Structure 1
Amino acid sequence: MIFRKGELFSGPGGLALGATSASVLDASGEEFRITHEWSNDYDESACSTYRRNICGDIEDPSVIWGPVQELDIKSLSPIDALAFGFPCNDYSIVGEHKGMGGEYGPLYSYGVQVLKHHKPKFFIAENVGGLQSANEGKAFIQILKELSEAGPGYNLTPHLYKFEEYGVPQKRHRIIIVGIRKDQGVTFRVPAPTTPEKYVTSKEALENPPILEFAPNHEFTKHNAKTVEMLKHIPPGQNAWYEGIPEDLRLNVKGARMSQIYKRLHPDHPSYTVTGSGGGGTHVYHWDEPRALTNRERARLQTFPDEYIFEGKKEKVRQQIGMAVPPKAAKIIAEAILKTFAGVEYDYVAPKWIFEELVKQDKVLQPV
Structure 2
Amino acid sequence: MRTVDLFAGCGGMSLGFQKAGFEIISAFDNWKEAVACYSSNFDHNIEQIDLADAQVIINKLNNTRIDIIIGGPPCQDFSHAGKRTEGSRADLTDSFAEIVIGLKPQMYVMENVDRAQKSKAYKSARKKLAESGYGITEVILDASYCGVPQKRKRFFSIGKLEQEDNFLLPVIKDMLSERPTTLRDYFGDRLGLEYYYRHPRNYSRRGIFSIDEPAPTIRGVNRPVPAGYVGHPGDPIPLNDALRPLTFRERAQIQTFPEDFVFNGSKTSVEQMIGNAVPVDLAMFVGNAIRRYNTESAKEKKTKGKEVAAI
**Which TM-score band (shorter chain)?**
0.7 to 0.9
TM-score w.r.t. length of structure 2 = 0.79
Q: Report the equivalent of 1:192.
A: 173
Partners of 1:11 and 1:46 within 8 A in 2: yes
Q: Report the equivalent of 1:354.
A: none
1:38-97 per-position Cα deviation (integer Å, ceiling 9, x unaligned): 111111221122222232xxxx6x201132135721112331110010111111122122
The equivalences for 1:1-368 within 5 A come to: 3-23=1-21, 34-55=22-43, 62-69=45-52, 72-73=56-57, 74-76=59-61, 77-99=64-86, 102-134=87-119, 138-150=120-132, 153-182=133-162, 187-189=167-169, 190-192=171-173, 196-210=177-191, 257=202, 263-277=207-221, 289-343=242-296
| Greater length-normalized contact order (CA 8 Å, ≥ 6 residues apart) | 1
SS at match of 1:105: helix
SS at match of 1:146: helix
Letter in 1 for 2:50: P
Letter in 2 for 1:178: I
Q: Report the equivalent of 1:31.
A: none
Shift in alpha-carbon separation, 1:332–1:110, aligned structure 2, 3 A: same
SS at match of 1:36: strand
- Deviation, structure 1 residue 195: 6.0
Q: Distance in 2 between matches of 1:311 and 1:237?
A: 25
Q: Distance in 1 between matches of 2:38 and 2:15?
A: 9
Q: Distance in 2 between matches of 1:183 and 1:116?
A: 16
Q: Distance in 2 between matches of 1:9 and 1:319?
A: 14
TM-score w.r.t. length of structure 1 = 0.68
SS at match of 1:167: coil
Q: Which sections of structure 2, spanning at least 5 residues, go unmatched?
A: 227-234, 299-311
- Deviation, structure 1 residue 117: 1.9
1:109-130 per-position Cα deviation (integer Å, ceiling 9, x unaligned): 2212221221101010001012
Shift in alpha-carbon separation, 1:240–1:68, aligned structure 2, 3 A: closer
Shift in alpha-carbon separation, 1:66–1:280, aligned structure 2, 3 A: farther
Q: Distance in 1 between matches of 2:247 and 2:135?
A: 41
Letter in 2 for 1:329: L
1:185-225 per-position Cα deviation (integer Å, ceiling 9, x unaligned): x94335136564433222444554458xxxxxxxxxxxxxx
Partners of 2:198 and 2:223 within 8 A in 1: no
- Deviation, structure 1 residue 142: 2.4
SS at match of 1:300: helix
Q: Distance in 1 between matches of 2:282 and 2:15?
A: 10
- Deviation, structure 1 residue 238: 8.2
Q: Distance in 1 between matches of 2:282 and 2:198?
A: 28
RMSD between aligned alpha carbons?
A: 3.3
Q: Distance in 1 between matches of 2:92 and 2:153?
A: 21
Partners of 1:85 and 1:127 within 8 A in 2: yes
SS at match of 1:334: helix
1:284-332 per-position Cα deviation (integer Å, ceiling 9, x unaligned): x9x8842221111001111111011112122211111111111111111
Q: Distance in 2 between matches of 1:38 and 1:49?
A: 15
Q: Report the equivalent of 2:307.
A: none
- Aligned residues between the structures: 281
Q: Report the equivalent of 1:232.
A: none
Partners of 1:170 and 1:273 within 8 A in 2: yes
Q: Which sections of structure 1, spanning at least 5 residues, go unmatched?
A: 24-33, 212-234, 242-255, 346-368
Q: Distance in 2 between matches of 1:68 and 1:281?
A: 38
- Deviation, structure 1 residue 237: 8.2
